[in-house]
Amino acid sequence: MRLDPEMSGNPVVVLDLDGVIIKSNLVKHRAMLAMFADHPEKLATVDAYVVANGGVARRDKLVAILETIIGVEATPARVAQYLAQYAKSLEASLAVAPVVEGVPEFIARADHTFYVSSTAPEEEVHDQLVRTGLLHSFANVYGSRTPKAKALSEIAARHRHQEVVFFGDSLGDLDGAREAKVAFIGVTNERDNFQGLEVVKLSDFASTEAVDHAMRAAIRMRRPTPISPHPPQPRNPLHGVTLEAIVRALEARYGWAGLAERIPVRCFSHDPSVKSSLKFLRKTPWAREKVEGLYLFMLREERRMRRPPP
């Protein structure tokens, strides 16, 4: 099915593995938390960090948790030990993890070229695709050795006369699609990580019409209709508000400790300052979106508090 008359052929489809092809996110989430059960006072922070950093390679995730939350040095030996423990705890659960509804049928009936791009180790991705009988359906499979933005850029260059649509389930996936300038659909089968964001969403692949509609919408969103450089945005509460003003308002309301609890990033928890926070947020889109979301929540709460009682 042609979705864009200016492009030749059908869109190329790239699928993340966890949460998009296989229902494995919650299993992996529980396995990650279980490794830090001997730090019960820090589990809530680890939990929030894991949720906020979906789509990040597990090695990088573990290094950040060990050093910024647990407070120990992430030596190569220690990281290797945790990675081995994590992989072992997943073996039985991944062996029976179900496929997201409609994925095999979508791949079988759709006239697209398919790829996989995942932050899981290549061997694990390969084994899961073999287990589900889907490996032969993909032109290429990218694992943790290739960052998603790089994989998507390579795919887009290979199919430069076709649209590329990436189905992902995390903010890291969204960032990768934006960096590679390809269309993106947020899959919300196990968790909706895109609340408050302008993202085309899809719960599963069971409905052909829903999938086609989502792909059309995602491609339109990637190629918006040209508008004036500075259109009025009277209904956008962020219009005209600088990032610095947002950070200062949030710090005044919650304090640095409160901000670190709500958004567990290093710039809020270690020697926090407005300057260091701005530097981090300006180069980290997913964190900036969470900060802006918290600011909007604060504004709604303030409006609610000002309403007269019924």
pLDDT at position 6, please? 46
Half-sphere CA count of 142, side-chain side, radius 13 A: 22
Domain assignment of residue 237, yes or no: no
pLDDT at position 48, please? 84
Last residue of a domain, one of 225, 258, 280: 225
Residue 252 and residue 212 in one domain? no
CB atoms under 10 Å from CB of 187, counted, come to 27
CB atoms under 10 Å from CB of 62, counted, come to 22
Structure tokens at 68: 């910024």
- C-alpha Rg value of the chain to the nearest Å: 21
pLDDT at position 166, please? 98
Structure tokens at 3: 């979705």
Residue 81 and residue 41 in one domain? yes
Q: Which residues of the chain have pLDDT under 50?
A: 1-7, 225, 227-228, 230
The domain that holds 103 is classified in CATH as: 3.40.50.1000
pLDDT at position 8, please? 52
Could you report the per-residue pLDDT of 30-84, keeping only the tens digit for each? Answer: 888 889 999 999 888 888 888 777 777 788 888 888 988 888 888 999 999 999 9
Residue 133 and residue 263 in one domain? no
Residue 266 and residue 127 in one domain? no
pLDDT at position 288, please? 87
DSSP state of 4: -
Domain assignment of residue 59, yes or no: yes
Alpha carbon 285 to its chain centroid, in Å, reads: 11
Last residue of a domain, one of 193, 225, 257: 225
Residue 191 and residue 252 in one domain? no
The β-bridge partners of 18 are: 22
DSSP strand pairing (183-187 vs 114-117): unpaired
User: How many domains does the chain fold into?
Assistant: 2
The domain that holds 284 is classified in CATH as: 1.10.720.30
Does pTM surpass 0.75? no
* Strand ordering across the sheet containing 140-142: 140-142, 114-117, 12-15, 164-168, 183-187, 200-202
pLDDT at position 237, please? 74
* Range of the structural domain that residue 154 is part of: 12-225
